[in-house]
Amino acid sequence: MTKNPFSFLSKIKNIGSKRSFIQLLFLIIQNPFISNFLTGKPYNGPTKTFCAPGLHCYSCPSMAFGCPLGTLQYVIKYASMIPFFALGTLSAAGAILGRATCAYVCPFGFFQELLYSISPWKNIEAKLPQKFRYIKWFNLFFFVLLIPAFGLAQGFCAYVCPSGLIVAGIPIIAANSGLRATIGLTFWWKVALTIIFVIYFMREKRAFCRYICPLGLILGFFNRVSILQIKLNQNKCISCSACKKHCPMGIDPVKEVNSIECIKCGDCVRVCPVNKNLK
């Protein structure tokens, strides 16, 4: 793997080795209002109008920023218009970093990696068939766009997103006894689905990112044109498959680097045994 051609992003190998620290730092920056979990009331200050380019939940009590995916659905459903602000935020992040925000900024990506790291039944070889990756395409067009467009619901938030249940739904209901009487079938559906997700997250690394997340898919559209690129020097590659073995997205970087599935985490660069390949 060669060094990134842009000088201010040329330390991708070293950045990759510090990725967990960077993820934790962004988690803290995005969630400064931890005390709000005691009241179950989300922060609704001025920063909430800005979307952080990661999967979280607008209703999370500690979150300082809006969720771009939730904003997309909300504007489509209630304003019946194109959500230019959320799309602009995602486009700006995508144009610079591509899908790298999934690797460094996204709280739910960090959560998945933590679960996997402590799992007693994790399997580095675990991988569903390639066709399962199309589930996130279905989620984008059906749950994020179509259902809200018909004014039915914020589809992905309402029926699929486990992040919203974990960081918002359960804490808010736990802190507000009056809301417990409003719990219905949809809530229990999401509880069951989230349990399934969490169990599988502990077997396959970043399974939600690989198969389910429409936000990662949107950011992945920019991977080929973003400023941040990981470049492979085919002449120096020894075909050892170390990058493929350690890729958190289960792809082969030799064939798919900067593809729509690549989160540009730099792990492939970090584990490459031919370190002298870095110019």
Query: Could you tell me how far CA 239 lies from the centroid of its own chain?
Result: 29
Q: How confident is the model at residue 207 (pLDDT cuts 50, 70, 90)?
A: very high
pLDDT tens track for 100-133:
999 999 999 999 999 999 999 999 888 999 999 9
pLDDT digits (tens, 9 = 90+) for 226-253: 999 988 888 888 888 899 988 999 999 9
CA distance linking residue 243 with residue 252, whole number of Å: 7
Q: What is the pLDDT of residue 17?
A: 53
Closest CA to 15 of 132, 100, 75, 110: 100
Q: What are the phi and psi torsion angles at 57 (to 5°)?
A: -150, 135
Q: Which long-range contacts (CB under 8 A, 24 or more apart) does 11-16 make?
A: 12/228, 12/230, 12/266, 12/269, 13/266, 13/269, 13/270, 13/278, 15/266, 16/265, 16/266, 16/267, 16/269, 16/270
pLDDT at 275: 58
Exposed e or buried b for every residue in 120-132, given b needs 16+ CB within 10 A?
eeeeeeeeeeeee
Q: What is the pLDDT of residue 78?
A: 87
Residue 245 vs residues 14, 155, 163, 200, 267: alpha-carbon distances, Å: 19, 35, 27, 19, 10
- Report the predicted TM-score, pTM, of the whole model to 2 decimal places: 0.88
C-alpha count within 13 angstroms, C-beta hemisphere, residue 160 = 22
Nearest CA to 208 out of 142, 160, 157 is that of 160
Residue 276 has pLDDT above 90, yes or no: no
